[in-house]
């Protein structure tokens, strides 16, 4: 997405959500909301909001047995059926998150037909507005198996990755589009559109407004750093300032761990830039940078002292 648009990364487990937020920061990603909700809670807040949804469904993990032998310990003859029921519960909340013409990617890391083809058949039977789209398959990726479900030939559009056919673990993928009727379905295929707006007016109810002195500190910082930033995109959570992504929804009653790009924080009328800003593409524009050779990099990662020539510091813009 090249840090454009809006990416909502949701994780129901809070500890995993914290790790997800840290990974987003380390990757220098600026356009992401990291949220901590169940699918049902997310639907209450953002019905029909998304252009695309990727559901990496919790599954029995049979495709990971070779990679993670411990996963075998969780498997039992009833586990596939239990996982399939949980996947259907999640899908009941996930499909309504899509706008008309939106795309759903459903994926698992299991071989189980109960959790793969049979779940897709269940979607097609219970959500008639959902239509399967073909997936371009590279060498070693095979079609889904209609004979392992209800025989619907549409299931050939899904994809199975077999570990003995390609250099990967076991996976299943299906791509579906949501349409209100056949006419709209066909028009979406030929001319996809984005129905969201960039309206920034009513989306900051859960944030604190920036005070005049804080806006002045931020404006001075951006001027000094030679960064052209729209101050209307900034919002404050506690003492921390974030630049909200485009298409950001109303954040009221949404449990957020990361709201776009953290710019920095205030302490005693002083503004401190954040580590996330330094790691982002914005940070590359104004932070002095040093190039290290392989030996210096190894020493640096190891925590050893590295020696840099004074001329290199000057080239990097430190003084």
- The DSSP output letter for 168 is S
* CA nearest neighbour of 29 among 53, 8, 15: 8
- Please tell me the predicted confidence (pLDDT) of residue 287: 58
Regions in the chain scoring below 50 on pLDDT: 185, 188-206
On whether residue 198 sits in a domain, the answer given is no
CATH number at residue 111: 3.40.50.150
- Write the CB contacts of 17 (distance below 8 Å, at least 6 apart in sequence): 10, 11, 34, 35, 36, 257
- Please tell me the predicted confidence (pLDDT) of residue 237: 87
Beta bridge partners of 133: 175
Asked whether the beta carbons of 52 and 102 are under 8 A apart, the reply is: yes
Residue 202 is encoded by which pair of tokens?
């009513």
Tell whether 281 and 293 lie within a shared domain.
no
Domain that holds residue 292: 288-319
Tell whether 221 and 114 lie within a shared domain.
no
- Please tell me the predicted confidence (pLDDT) of residue 206: 42
Tell whether 222 and 304 lie within a shared domain.
no
Active site residue 109: yes
On whether residue 115 sits in a domain, the answer given is yes
- Please tell me the predicted confidence (pLDDT) of residue 281: 78
Tell whether 163 and 274 lie within a shared domain.
no
Tell whether 273 and 298 lie within a shared domain.
no
Total number of domains constituting the chain: 3
Sequential DSSP letters for 45-108? HSTT-EEEEEEE-----GGGTTT-GGGGGG--TTHHHHHHHHHHHHHHHHGGGEEEEEEEEEEE
Tell whether 180 and 234 lie within a shared domain.
no
Asked whether the beta carbons of 49 and 196 are under 8 A apart, the reply is: yes
56 is in an annotated binding site: yes
Residue 109 is encoded by which pair of tokens?
């890391």
Tell whether 74 and 152 lie within a shared domain.
yes
On whether residue 25 sits in a domain, the answer given is no
pTM: 0.79
On whether residue 120 sits in a domain, the answer given is yes
- Report the Cα 18 to chain-centroid distance in Å: 13
Beta strands in 200-286 (DSSP E): 234-237, 240-243, 256-259, 261-267, 270-273
Tell whether 276 and 310 lie within a shared domain.
no
What CA–CA distance (Å, rounded) separates 170 from 168? Answer: 7
Tell whether 240 and 300 lie within a shared domain.
no
11 is in an annotated binding site: yes
- Please tell me the predicted confidence (pLDDT) of residue 131: 97
Tell whether 78 and 171 lie within a shared domain.
yes
Which is the catalytic residue, given 30, 59, 109, 248? 109
On whether residue 38 sits in a domain, the answer given is no
Tell whether 55 and 155 lie within a shared domain.
yes
């Amino acid at each position: 997405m090249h840090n454009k648009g809006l990416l909502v990364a949701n994780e129901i487990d809070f500890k995993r959500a914290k790790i997800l937020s840290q990974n987003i920061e380390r990757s220098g990603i600026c356009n992401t909301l990291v949220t901590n909700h169940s699918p049902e809670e997310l639907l209450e807040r953002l019905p029909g909001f998304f252009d695309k949804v990727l559901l990496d469904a919790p599954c029995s993990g049979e495709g990971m047995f070779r990679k993670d032998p411990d996963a075998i310990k969780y498997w039992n003859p009833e586990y596939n059926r239990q996982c399939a029921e949980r996947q259907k519960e999640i899908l009941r909340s996930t499909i309504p998150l899509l706008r008309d013409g939106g795309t759903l990617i459903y994926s698992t890391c299991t071989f189980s037909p109960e959790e793969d083809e049979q779940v897709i058949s269940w979607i097609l039977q219970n959500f008639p507005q959902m239509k399967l789209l073909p997936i371009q398959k590279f060498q070693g990726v095979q079609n889904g198996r209609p004979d392992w479900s209800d025989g619907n030939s549409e299931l050939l559009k899904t994809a199975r990755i077999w570990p003995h056919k390609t250099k990967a673990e076991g996976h299943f993928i299906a791509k579906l589009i949501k349409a209100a009727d056949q006419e709209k379905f066909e028009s979406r295929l030929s001319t996809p559109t984005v129905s969201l707006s960039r309206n920034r007016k009513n989306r900051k109810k859960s944030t604190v407004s920036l005070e005049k002195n804080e806006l002045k500190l931020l404006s001075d910082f951006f001027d000094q750093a030679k960064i052209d930033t729209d101050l209307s995109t900034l919002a404050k959570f506690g003492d921390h300032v974030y630049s909200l992504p485009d298409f950001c929804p109303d954040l009221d009653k949404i449990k957020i761990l990361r709201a776009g790009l953290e710019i920095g924080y205030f302490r005693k009328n002083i503004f401190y830039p954040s580590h996330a800003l330094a790691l982002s593409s914005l940070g590359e524009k104004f932070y002095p940078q040093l190039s290290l050779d392989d030996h210096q990099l190894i020493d640096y990662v190891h925590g050893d002292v590295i020696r840099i020539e004074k001329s290199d510091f000057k080239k990097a813009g430190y003084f």
